[in-house]
Amino acid sequence: MKKIVLVAGVIFSLIIIGILLIRTNSKNTNITKKKTKVGLIMNSVKDDGTWGQSHFEGIKNCEEELNLEVIYAEEVPKNEECVKIMEELIKEGCEIIICNSYDYGQYELEVAEKYPDVYFFHASGVKESKNLATYFGRMYQVRYLTGIVAGLQSESGEIGYVAAFDIPEVNRGINAFTLGVREVNPKAVVHVCWSGTWIDYDITSDATNKLLEKHPAIDVLTVHSDSLATMDIAEEKGIWSIGYDYDNSDTYTNTYLTAAVWNWEAFYREHIKRCLQGKFQGKHYWDGIESDIVRISKFTPNVKKGISEKVVVAKNKLENGEFDVFYGPIYDNEGNLRVSEGESMTDEAMLNDFNWFVEGVQIDE
């Protein structure tokens, strides 16, 4: 008799759990029943082929699935004007605001404080609040992989890197890329020049040409800016190129190898769902390659045979946590030991302390 009562009790408990799960799933499914307006503040245009387009397509690709209406503003000034534009979007019914540039930070914080019932996201931001989350991706992991491509593709062992600014984010990418290069081509050199701009085409073009004039043996070029000038020059001069932000392989068919690209769709889908479920958290997110927020784009036919297999091995190690880029020993380009064997850099150090460059980097002043 006791056994019968026990079995009945277990069955009853399972039924209750099943009902609760059904209700929970139903609730999560119904979150998309109502259309949600999302406002996107952009520092460039939606079809720039770089940073702006990666964000625009990322959120637009979530529109149908999550029943969103995306309202976007292009080339928004990074001053008090952006406050007015954010407020206009909120008045139009936007319940979520996304800003895609670091320079909007102080203004987005101001608006977030004024509108506590609206969710805010700030790409590459550094200050969070109760209703404002910041986010970025561990692009350095993909930079390392593209470095492997460059190191194996190069015949001269001289590689060019056109970078926007001497800041930790950019330096982290330069160092990761160079570690990838030197992993497969230990004597290779990465020549770096500063353009001093994220988006100005003419300035980036001048910086690229000066780099090539100074180092004519460069046979692979890559970039950390949101201008396509370097890719245009590489195509014109017949130099292998590795892109950034967005896959432009269809444009540069003769010289393009691959790119370190953003897949913002993966982030936006997950975190807008959380907003709709009332599970938003005002914190900083720095997701890695395993989250699919950062990717190495498909290889073009220009990539030498055998490179793909080596990159896949390294990518798998990054994805399963067996390896990360800044594991010691790592020496800087002045011969100093920066990361000891058996140690790795902390997130804090990677985010803020890269005022030095690894062995193999040569900076053009």
> How far apart, in whole angstroms, are the C-alpha atoms of residue 50 and residue 62?
19
Q: Are 191 and 215 in contact (CB under 8 A)?
A: yes
3-state secondary structure the chain: CHHHHHHHHHHHHHHHHHHHHHHHHHHHHHHHCCCEEEEEECCCCCCCCCHHHHHHHHHHCCHHHHCEEEEEECCCCCCHHHHHHHHHHHHCCEEEEEECCHHHHHHHHHHHHHCCCCEEEEECCCCCECCEEEEEECHHHHHHHHHHHHHHHCCCCEEEEEECCCCHHHHHHHHHHHHHHHHHCCCCEEEEEECCCCCCHHHHHHHHHHHHHHCCCCCEEEEECCCCHHHHHHHHHCCEEEEEECCCCCCCCCCEEEEEEECHHHHHHHHHHHHHCCCCCCCEEEECHHHCCEEECCCCCCCCCCHHHHHHHHHHHHHCCCCCCCECCEEECCCCEEECCCCECCHHHHHHCCCCCECCEEEEC
Q: Which two tokens stand for residue 130?
A: 């109760």
Q: How far is CA 353 from CA 22, 124, 338, 357, in A?
A: 48, 16, 11, 11
Can you give the residue ranges of every domain in the chain? 35-137, 139-261+296-364
**Nearest Cα to Cα of residue 165 among 125, 143, 207, 196:** 196
pLDDT recorded at residue 11: 53
Query: How many residues make up the chain in this entry?
Result: 365
Instruction: Mean pLDDT check: name the lowest of 23-27, 62-66, 202-206.
Output: 23-27
pLDDT recorded at residue 30: 81
Q: How far is CA 199 from CA 64, 142, 169, 224, 228, in A?
A: 31, 21, 16, 10, 9
Q: Are 256 and 243 in contact (CB under 8 A)?
A: yes
pLDDT recorded at residue 26: 41
- pTM metric for this prediction: 0.90
> How far apart, in whole angstroms, are the C-alpha atoms of residue 38 and residue 278?
16
pLDDT recorded at residue 29: 56
Q: Are 219 and 198 in contact (CB under 8 A)?
A: no
Q: What is the pLDDT of residues 240-288, one digit of tens each?
A: 999 999 999 999 999 999 999 999 999 999 999 999 999 999 999 999 9
Q: For all residues of the chain together, what is the average pLDDT?
A: 93
The top-level CATH class assigned to 139-261+296-364 is alpha beta
- pLDDT (average), residues 45-70: 97
pLDDT recorded at residue 3: 45
Q: Which fold has domain 35-137?
A: Rossmann fold (3.40.50)
Q: What is the pLDDT of residues 310-349, one digit of tens each?
A: 999 999 999 999 999 999 999 999 999 999 999 999 999 9
